[in-house]
Amino acid sequence: MTNIAKSTFAVLLLVMAMSSAGFAAPANANYDESKVPSYTLPDLLLTLDGEKVTDAKTWEEKRRPEVLELFRKHMYGRSPGRPQQTSYQLKEISKQVFGGKATRKQITIHLANDQKHVDLDLLIYLPNKVKGPAPIFLGLNFMGNHSIESDPAIFLSKTKWFRNKKDAGYVNNRATEKSRGSSTARWPVEMIIDRGFGLATIYYGDIDPDYHDEFKNGVHGLFESGNQKRPGDAWGTISAWAWGLSRAMDYFETDEDIDQRRVAVFGHSRLGKTALWAGAQDERFAIVISNDSGCGGAALSKRCFGETLARMNRVFPHWNCENCKQYGGNEAALPLDQHMLIALVAPRPIYVASASGDLWADPKGEFLAAKHAQAVYALYGKKGLDVDDMPQLDKSVGHYIGYHIRTGKHNITAFDWRQYLKFAEKHFAK
Ligand code: GCU
């Protein structure tokens, strides 16, 4: 085969793999490294008035707030603070999970603002062998709390909106009994418990259902009526999901079985974008983990490789703020890039993971963003990735910035989890 025929064939295989993964990859997406436009990343260490940042203090007091503001204004939008009222209700508890190894708690977080209410159902597993408050992983789930384990004690809502997935028991945007445990492959709860960690999750649709309704439902509805014109930097759905993660963190601060200083926030794909934005804003999250988060997550937007901002903002118009839309197809004008999002987590440890068959999420762009974020870790005297080039497949690298590219497709697997557990063990060691 000629080189052109070979690369056409490779793109064809990729498109076929992506269609079988549940979405059609647009034919015009670029997967050719030689077609990546030349681009200049904004200098992380240069303030808006031209001062070079050379120490952690200037980063924290001057540059970090600027960078945070750039993401609020141009990417995800500006989130409100806590709602007027929050209360917690323990609805169910069992200390006998996994033959007595774990405790399961189901808590409802009641949020109220301006006479309006939203409930978030939080499912928590804690390791019984840990004496005192346990470290915990917190992440949103796509298919309901009942999907992460087949345990019939987990509440299953037949009235909430879900994405359709007939084979897994989601029909007419509702969950059926058949959907119990349908996502267990992504949630190795017992393995996490055995390693001495807790796990907490909320269904992302509790915070904001994942479709565009002009920001009336979900937690947006607590703060806005849906009738007034929204500013260009009003919060989108990724911001809302991230805000929901912070509300889970508020709850952790009240639960003496959870070590609020050792909370690792994680997420896969759009929920990986969410985990990054949550960890960037809320410094209570001690570790941040991005699994295959791609465009609008860990991947550099200016590379325009795989998914682009233009495509994302068109297909998912509710995810980012309105201001972001002007940068689709005009990435050169974007006054930020995703290395700056990773840097907002510094000096806290962060892990970025890619998958070899997930070119849509631009593994190289994810690696490069992690690499460019090192400059801020260096201000704290902390080593980031500590490698110059992408590591070989299935090899975890890095100190305060962890990275791997796993063989396989867009997913979160036991391999990914083993790396996150190791990373958390290393950084949470007392
Ligand atoms: C689509 C979308 C991605 C997103 C992914 C997911 O592929 O284009 O941006 O990360 O869905 O959340 O599964």
Q: Coil, strand or helix: which one is 138?
A: strand
Q: Is residue 97 part of a domain?
A: yes
Q: Is residue 393 part of a domain?
A: yes
Q: Is 127 in the pocket of ligand 1 (CB under 6 A)?
A: no
For 278-291, write each residue's pLDDT tens digit. Answer: 999 999 999 999 99
The answer to whether the CB of 384 falls within 8 A of the CB of 374 is: yes
Q: Which protein residue's CA is at the shortest distance from atom 13 of ligand 1? A: 269
Q: Is residue 361 part of a domain?
A: yes
For 354-404, write each residue's pLDDT tens digit. Answer: 999 999 999 999 999 999 999 999 999 999 998 999 999 999 999 999 999
Q: Is residue 252 part of a domain?
A: yes
What is the pLDDT at residue 228? 83
Structure confidence at residue 227 as a pLDDT band (50, 70, 90): confident
Q: Is residue 309 part of a domain?
A: yes
- DSSP state, residue 184: G
The answer to whether the CB of 146 falls within 8 A of the CB of 175 is: yes
One-letter amino acid of 199? L
Query: How many domains is the chain partitioned into structurally?
Result: 1
**Residue 157 bears catalytic tag:** no
Q: What mean pLDDT is predicted for residues 240-249?
A: 98
Give which of 387, 358, 355 is closest to 370, Cα–Cα: 387
Q: Is residue 365 part of a domain?
A: yes
What is the pLDDT at residue 27? 62
What is the pLDDT at residue 28? 77
Strands 258-268 and 287-291: parallel
- DSSP state, residue 61: I
Give which of 139, 62, 71, 59 is closest to 281, Cα–Cα: 71
What is the pLDDT at residue 12? 45
What is the 3-class SS of 144-177, one letter each residue? CHHHCCCCCCCCCCCCCCCCCEHHHCEECCEECH
Report the CATH number that the domain containing residue 293 is assigned in CATH. 3.40.50.1820
Q: With the C-alpha atoms ordered 39, 317, 200, 409, is the resulting torsion angle positive or negative?
A: negative
Burial of 213 (0-12, 13-18, 19+ CB in 10 A): middle
Give which of 112, 113, 94, 114 is closest to 104, Cα–Cα: 94
Q: Is 294 in the pocket of ligand 1 (CB under 6 A)?
A: yes
What is the pLDDT at residue 406? 98
Residue of 19, 269, 411 to mutate, ligand 1, most atoms within 8 A of C-beta: 269
Q: Is 307 in the pocket of ligand 1 (CB under 6 A)?
A: yes
pTM: 0.95
Two tokens, residue 34: 């030689």
Residue of 295, 311, 360, 362 to mutate, ligand 1, most atoms within 8 A of C-beta: 360
Q: Is residue 145 part of a domain?
A: yes
**DSSP string for residues in 212-252:** -STT-STTHHHH--S-SPPPTTB--HHHHHHHHHHHHHHHH
One-letter amino acid of 327? Y
On average, the pLDDT of the chain sits at: 94
* End-to-end Cα distance, the chain: 57
- DSSP state, residue 83: -
Q: Coil, strand or helix: which one is 103?
A: strand
For 266-279, write each residue's pLDDT tens digit. Answer: 999 999 999 999 99
The answer to whether the CB of 265 falls within 8 A of the CB of 349 is: no
The answer to whether the CB of 350 falls within 8 A of the CB of 287 is: yes
Name, in order, each residue with C-beta under 8 angstroms of 1's C-beta and a sequence gap of 6 or more: 9
Edge-first strand order for the sheet with 401-406 is 85-97, 102-113, 116-127, 198-203, 134-141, 258-268, 287-291, 350-355, 401-406
**Residue 410 bears catalytic tag:** yes
What is the pLDDT at residue 136? 98
Structure confidence at residue 46 as a pLDDT band (50, 70, 90): very high
Two tokens, residue 282: 């809320």
Q: Coil, strand or helix: which one is 370?
A: helix
Query: Which run of H or E residues covers position 112?
Result: strand 102-113
Q: Is residue 40 part of a domain?
A: no
Domain range for residue 310?
Answer: 69-428
What are the backbone angles phi and psi of residue 146, rounded to the nearest 5°? -70, -10
